Amino acid sequence: MFALSSRKLALCVGGILVAAAASYAATGKDSGSAVPTGTSICSAGGTDAAESERPFLTENQRAMDKMMTGMAVKPTGDVDVDFAAMMIPHHQGAIDMAVLQLRFGRNEQLRRIAQEIIVDQQQEIAAMRLALGQPLPPSVSAPTESGDPAATDAPTSPADHTMKDMPK
């Protein structure tokens, strides 16, 4: 049986992604590590994917690319600000991917985990913003099962607006 809780798994994956983003931000290039970049994680161009899975893969790739771009921040000299600047888009990426699970997935256990991820990550984004003294944008509803392919481009939480508000 899988021993990690969804929260611990998210933290492990988050640590890997933050390290990769920090390496990229610091050097402007891939670290050469085995950690894949957004363009290779869930490529929608693979031949193994069923045609019915393509919408999910395409939208998931969009969410991954958005997250990786958001995490590639230029260091400010303030570890706290830099940490939040990388983690907030990472958490938003988890929210965006969880929304896709709710829209496309069928496994009830995974759907419940996706719902928990959305709530937990929104709370953690809010906590990071508040710890830095940043205001929270107005709350918006998360699209979950709208069937609208553009729904993942809509703000899914107050955190979706965070990077423009980060101190430089």
Position 42, amino acid = C
1 is a domain residue: no
Q: What is the pLDDT of residue 136?
A: 87
Query: Which position has the token pair 């938003």?
Result: 92
Q: CB-based contacts of 159: which residues, under 8 Å, 6+ apart?
A: 88, 91, 92, 95, 121, 122, 125, 126, 129
Q: What does the pLDDT average to over 90-99?
A: 97
Tell me the pLDDT tens digit for each residue of 16-52: 555 455 545 544 444 443 444 444 455 545 556 688 8
Instruction: Of 112, 118, 158, give the one whose Cα is nearest residue 137.
Output: 158
112 is a domain residue: yes
Please say whether the dihedral angle defined by the alpha carbons of residues 129, 123, 142 and 10, taken in this order, is positive or negative. Answer: positive
Q: What does the pLDDT average to over 87-95?
A: 97
Q: What is the pLDDT of residue 9?
A: 52
How far apart are alpha carbons 64 and 73 in whole angstroms?
16
12 is a domain residue: yes
Instruction: Of 41, 55, 32, give the one whose Cα is nearest residue 13.
Output: 41
Q: What range defines the domain where residue 66 resides?
A: 6-165
Structure tokens at 146: 């709208």
Number of domains the chain contains: 1
pTM above 0.75, yes or no: no
76 is a domain residue: yes
146 is a domain residue: yes
How far apart are alpha carbons 79 and 31 in whole angstroms?
20
Q: What is the pLDDT of residue 158?
A: 43
Please say whether the beta carbons of 37 and 68 come within 8 A.
yes
Q: What is the pLDDT of residue 148?
A: 47
Structure tokens at 54: 């393509």
Q: What is the pLDDT of residue 144?
A: 57
Q: What is the pLDDT of residue 156?
A: 46
46 is a domain residue: yes
